[in-house]
Chain A
Amino acid sequence: MKLCFFHLMPYQDLPESFEKDYHSVWVDAPNSLFDPEKGHHMYNDFLDELEYAEKMGFDAICVNEHHSNAYGLMPSPNLMASAMTRATSKAAIVVLGNSLALYNPPIRVAEEMAMLDVLSGGRLIAGFPLGTAMDTIFGYGQVPVTLREKYQEAHDLVMKAWTEREPFAFNGKYTQLRYVNIWPRPYQQPHPPIWVPGSGSLETWDWTIKNDYVYCYLSYSGYKVGKTILDGFWDEMERQGKEFNPYHAGFLQLVAVSETDEQAQEYKDSIEYFFKKSLHIPGGFGNPPGYRSVKTNASQAGAETMQSRTKQLSDFTWTDYLEAGNVIVGSPETVRQELTHAIKELRVGNLMLLLQFGDMPKELAMKNTTLFANEVMPHIKDIWSEYETRWWPEKLTEPSKSASKNTSQ
């Protein structure tokens, strides 16, 4: 198992009736709501939490890119990752990731990620999301129907920039460059492992499998809905004749651990803040015409995730979130059981844990992290030990780190 500590860096001080008074947390939430002084403290708390995760033995720390929103305050995840290269030394740094179509020219991604890889001594995992519609279509003005093509072209350019050792010209539809010659080049050869976050688009499955990348399903619908998506991914793998390996997929799960099940009520406010405020997104922003293919919109997975999400956002209460598996909450024993069940149901080897969410204060985030690391981690870390991952920084998979896993070379 690879256990990754994921942070969204949410804005934590939205008004009490935000979801009633404002149209959306993304795209058009006015930044008059952002208090820079509070923001300063939030950023530093969040970076402390990421550093602490490494100390507590997480395999990786994860940052991610979002724009024009109070859901996640990282328009540039690379800046946060950069701070982490200096503050950590053992954990993989997962930048999940850079939305390739948003960079002009996209070699900026090749350059910055190469910098991160060299700075960290080869600990970077490079994530290439298409990006949510809020980030790409509405925040960054991309044309929906050509976004995926632009993204794929940018991917081809970045990969070539990482692997070519001589300057080359690139004549693309969206980017034309007479000289491509990035300095520095990545520490890891031929390039850092690549993970692709998706939300159930059939196109993303197909492309991820063809390129032999890790597919990550990041949703907050919880593992019960997530299973529909990942089953679809594993089915597609099988159809394409690929060998099963749990490390081929990743999944994000909200987890909250307390001393007892009753005590876990202490997370109630943060959970509700997260689902009601941080995810206050009107349907029109989530899936504009052209963003997903007709095929995906018509697919069962597409319809189910949209439907269940809308319902969860508007109607759910604390107990509903727990029952639906949006959040795995409770005593260490409860969490161990439910999480083990989820991992096996989903068949995922890379688990991204969201232990800070919503307006959860630093002390509670630290407590959650501590309890998870001490009481849960030891019981799940050896799941899938019979498999090896080829999507992890080589430097970090040395025998000393995974001696018990009988790693062959």
Chain B
Amino acid sequence: MPETITISLRGGDFEAEVLKDGSGPPLLYLHGAIGQKGWAPFLDALAKKFTVYAPYLPGYSKSNGLDKLDDLIDLTLYQFELLDALGVAKAHVVGHFLGGMIAAEMAALSPSYVDKLVLAAPAGTWRDSDPVADLLSMSANDLQNDLWSSASSSMSLSPADFEANARLKAALAADRMQDLTAAGKFLWPIPDKGLKRRAYRIKAPTLVIWGENDRIIPPVYAEDFAKLIAGAKVSVMSNAGHLLMIERAEVFADTVADFLS
């Protein structure tokens, strides 16, 4: 079972709720726009080889201080302070969507903090021909559907995974207003916030990983990151949608662990 740590930053301006488990080299996991709902199976798998820290970003769950972060740079600096407070000088950073965008910014702004970098369906660029989904105007129903590869893919899940997914879908709907409030601050209206000017500074070995059926941010965006980050490897997962690390937890965890080891 993961432990929940509460970290206070900047004299109490921020309280961060961080989930932690495992042993081995430190790994920071940054969740995406729709947040994380507790400790997911893929984190469990990663915790077998790494000490995994999975904070809730400000504005999610009990982590607060969203109003004190004006932009993406503020949000990125916050992550360094969080690592400092956790006593982690350097970590593998794995980020999904919004978290992927922050992870890339961390590697660009202060390369010494980032060991290896894994960007899972990261936000951060824009293509007129393939717009990122408008999460703010999506109904709870549409959002629940579009986060997954397709209705049929859930048929191939194990009963345990299927049940976990059903629970997750319910939690996503319930928390959508709060979670997307925070995401909207950094992704709206266009998630291109300057990473392309800073990405040249990324020195960490980088894996870009995408679900081939991602309906929130289509896999064609992987090309942007391959172009922006020198030497980045791209891996596209079949039968996976936007929440690839939930839908195909084992494959995702194995791919990530292989890359990091």
Contacts and interface: CB of A to CB of B under 8 A. Distances in A.
B261 interface: no
A145 B181 contact: yes
Interface residues of B, number: 20
A143 B185 CA distance: 6
A290 B181 contact: yes
Contacts of A285: 137
Contact of A141 (B70, B139, B177, B189): B189
A141 B188 contact: yes
Nearest to B33: A289
Interface string B130-160: 0000001111001000000000000000000
A130 to B, nearest CB: 16
B23 interface: no
Contacts of A141: 188-190
Contacts of A283: 139
A302 to B, nearest CB: 12
A138 B138 CA distance: 12
Nearest to A292: B177
A288 B178 contact: no
B135 to A, nearest CB: 8
A173 interface: yes
B176 A290 contact: no
Contacts of A297: 177
Most B C-beta atoms less than 10 A away, residue of A142, A282, A288, A294: A288
B240 interface: no
B66 interface: yes
Q: Chain A contact residues (Cβ within 8 angstroms of B): what range?
A: 10 to 19
B137 A143 contact: no
B73 to A, nearest CB: 15
A100 to B, nearest CB: 19
Contacts of B142: 284
Contacts of A143: 184-185, 188-189
A343 B139 CA distance: 37
A294 B185 CA distance: 15
B17 interface: no
Interface string A127-149: 00000000001100111111000
B144 to A, nearest CB: 13
B180 interface: yes
B179 interface: yes
A27 B134 CA distance: 12
A171 to B, nearest CB: 15
Interface string B102-124: 00000000000000000000000
A285 B142 CA distance: 13
Contacts of B179: 289
A290 B184 contact: yes
Contact of A173 (B70, B178, B189): B70
B181 A144 contact: yes
Interface string B166-194: 00000000001111111111001110000
Interface string A277-306: 000001111001110001001000000000
Interface in A246-269: none
A145 B66 contact: yes
A145 B139 contact: no
A290 B180 contact: yes
B137 A290 contact: no
Interface in B61-79: 66, 70
B137 A144 contact: no
Contacts of B136: 137-138, 144, 284, 288-290
25 contacts: A137-B136, A137-B188, A141-B190, A143-B184, A143-B189, A144-B136, A144-B181, A144-B188, A145-B182, A145-B184, A146-B185, A282-B137, A283-B139, A284-B136, A285-B137, A288-B136, A288-B137, A289-B176, A289-B177, A289-B180, A289-B181, A289-B183, A289-B184, A290-B185, A294-B178
Interface of B: 66, 70, 136-139, 142, 176-185, 188-190
Q: Which 3 A-B pairs have the closest CB atoms?
A: A289-B180, A290-B181, A141-B189
Interface of A: 27, 137-138, 141-146, 173, 282-285, 288-290, 294, 297
Given A289-B184, A290-B136, 16 more contacts: A27-B137, A137-B136, A143-B188, A143-B189, A144-B181, A173-B70, A282-B139, A285-B137, A288-B180, A288-B184, A289-B136, A289-B178, A289-B180, A290-B180, A294-B177, A297-B177
